[in-house]
Amino acid sequence: MTSEDISIVMATRNVRGDLDGALDSIEAFAPDCPLYVWDARSTDGTQELLKQHDPLITRWESGEDTGIYDAFQKALQWVETPFVYFLGADDRLRSDWRMVAEEVHDTSKVYYSDVWLCGKNKRYNGEFSQMDLARTNICQQAIFYPTHIFTKHPFCMDYPLQADWELNMWCQAQKDLELSYVDGCVCDFNDTSGSSSTSYDQVFNRDYPRLLRRYFPFQAFVTYGVIAGLAHHTRKFRGVS
């Protein structure tokens, strides 16, 4: 497939200072991709910037949403391409994005690569085994999803910071889907200020042992779920948010 078969989806809210860089990187490395943006009623000039980049953006709208995953779902309704890729306003595509995108063609596969963690100054994180994914998530900005999966399993709004991990857990449990690693580093990922990188998703962490039971072999629950459950409830008891 060509890059025209991959839509890029973004969610914005008062990101005027970061958005120019993200859009510039799309223009440099993925100019032919349909680009869809859902904006959460920004008031800082973000909407004016989106208007300035109108030739690059296929469609954007501004309205109410309940968080980033709700914004993604709203933009997904416009996507008509076989694959979709999610980018943050404070992230930047790298030149490897084009190389990896050329490998994306089979809609029975979820393709993923690596990202560069800007805060930790390292590449993350290579090919994941099933147990790796039970323990930690593939970075969302490393993944090219078949669009059709979102009609079967939309982002779970119960998890405001970790819905992409729950989605990835679901994907690896599907017999008709395969997670396929492509060696490359597709994005500079801002791991210093994003909510999912710096905050604690109370509901996801409460449900984490149950999700392991649902989507992974029992070994994953024994290895990671029991300790994680105890840690979460200890944290709750201590009043740590």
* pLDDT tens track for 39-84: 999 999 999 999 999 999 999 999 999 999 999 999 999 999 999 9
Residues 218 and 229 in one domain: yes
Give the position of tokens 């060696």.
Answer: 183
For residues 184 and 233, state if they share a domain: no
53 with 8, same domain: the answer is yes
Instruction: Check whether residue 185 and residue 224 sit in a common domain.
Output: no
Nearest to 30 by CA among 13, 5, 12, 65: 5
Instruction: Say if residue 219 is in the same domain as residue 144.
Output: no
- Identify the domain containing residue 116 by its residue range: 3-199
Q: Residue 2: its pLDDT value, please?
A: 76
Q: In this structure, are 91 and 207 located in the same domain?
A: no
* Domain count of the fold of the chain: 2
Cβ pair 187, 101 in contact under 8 A: no
pLDDT at residue 236 is higher than 50: no
Whether residues 129 and 235 share a domain: the answer is: no
**32 & 145 share domain:** yes
Residues 67 and 88 in one domain: yes
Say if residue 195 is in the same domain as residue 205: no
Q: Are residues 204 and 172 in the same domain?
A: no
pLDDT digit string, tens, across residues 114-149: 999 999 999 999 999 999 999 999 999 999 999 999
My answer on whether 181 and 221 are in the same domain is no
